[in-house]
Amino acid sequence: MIRKLYPYGKKKTFNVTYDDGVLQDIRFVELLNKYQLKGTFNLNSAMSESGFEWIHESGLVVKRLKTEILKSLYASHEVASHTLNHPYMDSLTKEEILHELSADKANLERLFGAEIKGFAVPFYYYSELIETCVKECGFEYARISEESCSFTPQNDYYNWKATVFHCCEELEDLTQRFLETDEELAIFQIVGHSYDLDVENMWDLMEGIFAAISTQSDILPMTTVEIIDYLKAMEKAEITGRYIQNNSNLSLWFAVNNAVCEVKPSESIAISCAADVHFS
């Protein structure tokens, strides 16, 4: 009778979370913008500043984008921290971890003029100590390296898993399953680095996925922090057989007896009259 929905009555959400702020992000962001999709871009401010480069085993020189272009490039997307210098954090002390996180957050906030709420773990190492540091630095979530391979919303926001790494063989199969799923609050989030699209010759594959996602009207593009803020707000809602009480500062959306209802911040609706009060 009651089904949770994303904003504007959409059933599912999609985004990408891409790391390192590399040259190929220019083409990648153009592609996202073409299909009006959303991305979260996880940046290392010190490496952008120094113009860090390295040689991929394919021979491709992977280049960081210079600081000057970051603000305009990522204007309609989320920017999150990926540490200052992309270290292997397993060898760092707590003070060093805190510095890597807090200095990057401060640099990005200065550059973008907005609060940086998200953190994505560099390489694969994550621990309780890093999780503690992420919380101490005031981040709202940490995206770890493991994949969920699932569309189910998660509630451990400091161990957040994207659905699938873009080079995974399951990518197209998962995309098709996402297009067909009727799971409540389904999320599909692709993780990667845009230089892989050059190395693996995957630009057409990604564009095909974006085109397919963008044609489905029940999918809402959201950034990672928008999804997490919405899921947190949904967790606070009181949902009974008689009413829905929104205890958050975001509008929440539901299908009640197949009628789409918006419950505004701090408001409640009676279930019996939901379809009469709100539009369907």
Q: Which residues bind Zn ion (CB under 5 A)?
A: 19-20, 122
Residues 6+ apart with CB under 8 A from 222: 6, 7, 13, 14, 15, 38, 230
Taking the complex as a whole, the smallest distance from the CB of residue 25 to Zn ion amounts, in Å, to 12
Shorter beta-carbon distance to Zn ion: residue 13 or 15? 15
Residue 147 tokens read as: 């994949």
DSSP-derived 3-state class of residue 19: strand
Taking the complex as a whole, the smallest distance from the CB of residue 47 to Zn ion amounts, in Å, to 9
Taking the complex as a whole, the smallest distance from the CB of residue 122 to Zn ion amounts, in Å, to 5
Distance CA 267, CA 88 (A): 46
Query: Nearest residue by C-beta to Zn ion?
Result: 19
Taking the complex as a whole, the smallest distance from the CB of residue 121 to Zn ion amounts, in Å, to 8
Shorter beta-carbon distance to Zn ion: residue 122 or 221? 122
Distance CA 76, CA 37 (A): 9
Distance CA 202, CA 198 (A): 7
Taking the complex as a whole, the smallest distance from the CB of residue 120 to Zn ion amounts, in Å, to 7
- Give, rounded to a whole angstrom, the gap between the first and last alpha carbons of the chain: 14
Yes or no: say if 32 and 171 are a contact pair by the CB < 8 Å rule: no
Shorter beta-carbon distance to Zn ion: residue 8 or 123? 123
Reference 18, options 187, 213, 195, 210; nearest CA is 195
Taking the complex as a whole, the smallest distance from the CB of residue 170 to Zn ion amounts, in Å, to 22
Shorter beta-carbon distance to Zn ion: residue 19 or 25? 19
Shorter beta-carbon distance to Zn ion: residue 7 or 87? 87
Shorter beta-carbon distance to Zn ion: residue 47 or 111? 47
Distance CA 79, CA 117 (A): 9
